[in-house]
Structure formats: structure tokens, C-alpha cells
Amino acid sequence: MLKKLTFLILSGPTKEYIDSVRFISNDSSGMMGRALANAVTKKGYRVIFISGPVNMFPTNVELIKVTTALEMFKKVKLNFSKANIIISVAAISDYRPVKIYEHKIKKEKTRISIEFEQNPDIIKYCGKNKKNQVVVGFALETENLVNAAKLKLKNKKLDIIVANGKESFNSKVTTVYIISSSSILEMKNKNKKLIAEKIIYETIKIFRNITSC
């Protein structure tokens, strides 16, 4: 049965446009997302890969390109039921501008105000709507890393959350905590390829447990 597993992996940043040329985003390179996809396809499993704008994409996946958080959410809802395991490593913008200006905003004032509204919490949607599925989220925090991640694990009804700091952006080596309801595993200064392989191992183990009950 495990040879038929389908993974839905969300990767990369999102862009939320302010006007026709400016946007808010972050430094996510999609490197961890690619590492996860490669770890999955190496095992012969299917990957549906939804990615924000990055320079490189994994091979041997069903690639879906998006730009904004709302576009990503739409594609997730279309593909959610196809997946056994959902992993969101995407650095999705929490907020988007209420108004997108059609043309470039002119530099005519010393100050401008831009109103933002909240984007949907995509991984929380997945956690609350899962049915015999494993849902894995990532938490990037700049303080109280493990405690903040544990709270997200509970509130979003996730099976695993991977906690990491901002130093993980654009780095091949990083430190993460792989957290479930029963354990915390620290992987210190490890290559993202090794981290990805361990995450996939842990998710498959949980999926095997819930489907054998």
C-alpha cells in the first residue's frame, strides 16, 4: 500500500503585490521543499509540488506554480484529497494588501499607509480537515522557537511540526527540531538533504501507524 503514497508538498515564498511592480515577500529559496520532494521521489512515491516563485524546481513531480497565498490555497484545496501526506515548508505571507494599485505608486508623499488583511492559514486548514492523512508544518521563529512551534502543533492539529530559525533561509545547512505530540528530535547543523530524509521517514512511520489501526 505504501508504494501508492501521494505527497502534497508546498514550497517557496509567496508574493503579495502592493502595486504593479512592488510586493512583500521573504527570502525563502525553496531549497528545503526541493530536498523533501527529492527524498520522496527517490522512494518511488508520487509528489504534487505547489511552489511559489523560485529559481529552481524539483524533477519527477507534478509541478504547480503559484504566486500569491490565495493562489496557493486554491490549488491546495483542489489537490488536498489526493494526498496521503501533506507537508508545508512554504513561507506563505501572513498578510496581503487590501488594495493593489493598478500602477506604480508615485513618490509624491513622505509617508504612505497601506492596509493589510490576513491570508488564510493553509496548513491549519489541512490539519483541521485531514482524514487518515498526515499533515506536517514548518515554524520559523525568531524567539521561543520550540515552545512556539509546540503551540502551533496543537492549535493547527498537525502530526509533526519542524521548527527552525531565520538562519535556515538560503542555507544548505541548518538546525531544526522535528516535533510531534510525543517527541522532540533535534538535528543540529545538518544538511537539508539529511533533514528532509528524516522528516519523510517520520511522516511515513506516522502514516503507517494511523492506517494500521
Q: Provide the pLDDT for residue 1.
A: 46
Domain ranges of the chain: 2-99+112-211
- Look up the CATH architecture of domain 2-99+112-211: 3-Layer(aba) Sandwich (3.40)
Q: What is the pLDDT of residues 195-209, one digit of tens each?
A: 999 999 999 999 998
User: Is the CB of residue 63 less than 8 Å from the CB of residue 37?
Assistant: no
Residues 102-140: pLDDT tens digits?
Answer: 999 888 878 889 999 999 999 999 999 999 999 999 998
Q: How far apart (Å, rounded) are the C-alpha atoms in residues 43 and 39?
A: 7
Q: Alpha-carbon distance 195 to 156, whole Å? A: 22
**Residue 137 burial class via C-beta count within 10 angstroms: exposed 0-12, middle 13-18, buried 19 and up:** buried
Res 201: pLDDT: 96
Query: For the ranges 72-76, 155-159, 162-166, which has the lowest average pLDDT?
Result: 162-166
pLDDT at 190: 92
Residue 26: active-site member: yes
Contacts 24+ apart (CB under 8 A), 146-150: 146/177, 146/179, 146/184, 149/177, 149/179, 150/179
Residue tagged active-site, from 26, 60, 129, 191: 26
